[in-house]
Structure 1
Amino acid sequence: MKLRQNTFLGLYVFMVLLDLLTGYFHFQGMRQFTKPLILLTLILLFGICGSRLDKKIYRYTLMALLFSLTGDILLLYDHLSPLYFMLGLIAFLLAHISYSVVFLIQGKIVLKQEIRFVAVSLLAYGIALFMVLQDNLGTLKVPVIIYILGILIMTITAFGRKDLVDYTSFKLVFMGALFFILSDSILAVNKFLVAIPGSHFLVMGTYATAQYLMVRGLLTGDQKLN
């Protein structure tokens, strides 16, 4: 199993590097293939290696990955119409909801001081990010608020797995969720506030890292501790 996952990791890294290069050289035609291949590789990995997991976890994780793939494809065309960005936002929101369901199945939200601190910190960050962006969001203010809440809830539920699953699994999944927030933050600032040099590398690099860490974390161990 470990050998198989490491083989897929090599393939995954290759697909990510290929997409980074096509983006760097502005080969938009090629990106229609290279960008979806990132998630398709991850879906293949989870589809094969994740079949041993609880059926609900397996199904909802696949749903999260498929919604993410849909979002990736839609955002390739957001320069053509704002509708593509909106639909991409909805697709990723559904991905976060699906991931949240997985994390709630494996963990629980107990209002301990530790999780309260994480929740308040994440909420403060979300509010600060929205305040910075709000003047440039136009009609997207409400959708962006809903999306921010969605990704924050996903990250909080990821933290809720702490002490209830294998520690390595918890750590990988929670780090993946934080990388997801980082990726979306860079994308949002670059799109609505100011152009960030190398934004393509930063957004796709952190996004690919986020997705892989969460999938690898779920595959690492799903047994609750008694």
Structure 2
Amino acid sequence: MKNAFIGVFILLVLLDLVTGYLHYQVLRQFTKPLILLSLLLFFGVYGRQLAKKIYRYSLLALFFSLLGDIFLLYDHLSPLYFMCGLIAFLLAHITYSLVFLIQGKTIFKKEMGVVASLLLVYGTTLFIILQDNLGALKIPVIIYILGILAMAVSAYSRKDQVNHISFQLVFIGAMFFVLSDSILAINKFLVIIPGSHILVMGTYAAAQYLIVRGLFVGND
């Protein structure tokens, strides 16, 4: 059943990509939330084999992500929706970080410092590029960038502490998350990117699936 889910998940992602590409905004109110809702239900059923803290924090991360998706559907109506979406995803990154740090046993190695430094340079560069267009959102964006970078670093902390394939899937998923949010931010605050919807949702859906699938590896 776990392997069969990927077919359903890909179908839901493709459905949202098509509705977004065709600008069917009414339909997107259903297709976009369905992506995370399906993943949330899937994990809710099959994730019970994981340790309780891992299971509960992961469910929370998926739930906050679902809330973020819903809020961002309406960010064109009011800046408040964008802010609520930002907060929801920040909470998702925090809870994902807790999951990864628990599994990584918070063992900090020298190479983690290198990874953290590279990600910090990337995040700083992105902020510098965007800052003139952020207005009142400068501080919230700084906090959000630090949150998602912390999530990526904590995903790396699982190296040598979990199944190797599990580590790879989760870390690649975390990097896809960073990429997705970067494209979204550049498209929103800097310049319109052709096909941005496909790029953002494609990398985002891949990120969430890879993280969830990675958490299962070694526990199947």
TM-score over 0.5 (shorter chain) = yes
| 1:45 CA drift (Å) | 1.3
2:98 to 97, 101, 106: 101
SS of 2:83's equivalent in the other structure is helix
The letter for the 2-side match of 1:144 is V
Q: Per-residue displacement from partner, 1:30-60 (whole Å, max 9, x unpaired)?
A: 0000000000110111111111000110000
Contact residue 68 and residue 88 of structure 2 kept, 8 A: yes
| 1:115 CA drift (Å) | 0.8
Contact residue 165 and residue 222 of structure 1 kept, 8 A: no
Contact residue 106 and residue 222 of structure 1 kept, 8 A: no
| 1:114 CA drift (Å) | 1.1
Q: Which runs of 4+ in 1 moved over 3 A?
A: 108-111
Q: How many residues align?
A: 220
The letter for the 2-side match of 1:134 is Q
Q: Within 5 Å, which residues of 2 pair with 1:1-226?
A: 4-221=1-218
TM (norm. structure 2) is 0.98
Contact residue 173 and residue 214 of structure 1 kept, 8 A: yes
Q: Percent identity of the aligned residues?
A: 69
The letter for the 2-side match of 1:62 is L
Q: Which runs of 5+ in 1 are unaligned?
A: none
TM (norm. structure 1) is 0.95
SS of 1:50's equivalent in the other structure is helix
Aligned-residue Cα RMSD (Å) equals 1.1
Q: Which runs of 5+ in 2 are unaligned?
A: none
The letter for the 2-side match of 1:150 is G
| 1:222 CA drift (Å) | 5.8
